[in-house]
Amino acid sequence: MKELKILAVVVFFTLITYYGVEPYAHHQMHKKVDAKGNEIVYEFKDFKYPDLKAVAAKGDATAGKAMISACTGCHGIASQKMKAPMDASASAGAYGVNPPDLSNAGAVFDEKFLIHFIMDPVHTAMVAHKFKGNKQYPMPVVAPDAQTAANIVAYLKSIAPKEITPKEAFVTACGRCHADRYGKWTQIGDVPKTKPNIVTHQDPQMLAFQGKVAEYQDHLAKYMGKLPPDLSIMIRARSEEFMQNFIENPQSQLPGTAMPRVGVSKEGFEKVIAYLEETGDPSKPKRAAVGPWVLGFFFIFTLLAYLWKQSQWKDLH
């Protein structure tokens, strides 16, 4: 009985120490401070972007469609059979980054955000600190008035699918800047399925593709100041709270960062996270299912160990 008591005491203090130290360390490591050293506490806004004024203008999709050539000079809309004028690498050469295909934009981005973005991309994306003086943001102000912008957004929403896949959300919102190695995604598209030559073992198609990716990444790194990180394991390295706050407002977590506020809607965010989870942590559902079994095992094991100990000591007392 004495040993059991000692064990209980040890377990008790181990748990206290764990609970005391772990969240504390967690908090300290993720502490964010501004330039003056004051701690930043960011209040999550549920992807509602309250700093952007509500737009009264009601969008007219037909009028928006008539205006869409103002966008397709740079962006493709594959679902409407409108091809981007240049491929990804050439676009990055021209703009620093490939303008995303707009087929799913109406389903991924917040409507109010999009209207403001079309009227004033730099401030809406919160990257004015990066684009000042003669350094111009590559997307111009196409429609400075709310009615025209709302019409274009109404059109984008009218062509957007009702339901999009996690991958489509990721590609539209993040894929032009971030690769996802586990998802076999590069900034210029999916890694192609190629076959090396059986005799020489060389894979010229793959080499050509990798060359294009490298070329794209060079342009992107120059444009962004650094190559945006591969997101394969980011979902494991960062807490969910960090991801929410960071994607809703990157400046709130990394003041001065070059990553824009991309303006995903709440559903858009959930799809993006689903993609990162499914590619970065594919065994998560399996692990979760195993959990109760492991706990059950420990319970039975402890019980047996206890009974065994009782039977051993019985004769000695």
**Region 196-225 residues binding ligand HEC, contact defined as CB under 6 A:** 224
Q: If binding is defined by CB under 6 A, does position 119 make contact with ligand HEC?
A: no
Q: Which of 159, 62, 60, 162 is nearest to 115 (CA)?
A: 60
Q: Which of 184, 159, 178 is nearest to 272 (CA)?
A: 178
Residue 153's Cβ-count burial label (10 Å; 0-12, 13-18, 19+) is buried
Q: If binding is defined by CB under 6 A, does position 126 make contact with ligand HEC?
A: no
**Region 225-264 residues binding ligand HEC, contact defined as CB under 6 A:** 226, 228-229, 231, 234, 238, 246-247, 254, 257-260, 262-264
Nearer to ligand HEC, 191 or 224 (CB): 224
Please, what is the minimum distance in Å from the beta carbon of residue 23 to ligand HEC?
19
Q: If binding is defined by CB under 6 A, does position 73 make contact with ligand HEC?
A: yes
Please, what is the minimum distance in Å from the beta carbon of residue 235 to ligand HEC?
8
Distance from C-alpha of 186 to C-alpha of 221, rounded to nearest angstrom: 14
Q: Which of 170, 26, 242, 199 is nearest to 250 (CA)?
A: 242
Of 105, 122, 154, 171, the one binding ligand HEC by CB under 6 A: 105
| Residues with Cβ within 8 Å of residue 147, at least 6 apart in sequence | 57
Q: If binding is defined by CB under 6 A, does position 183 make contact with ligand HEC?
A: no
Q: Which of 269, 214, 215, 223 is nearest to 246 (CA)?
A: 269
Please, what is the minimum distance in Å from the beta carbon of residue 314 to ligand HEC?
58
Please give the size of the binding site for ligand HEC, defined by CB under 6 A: 45
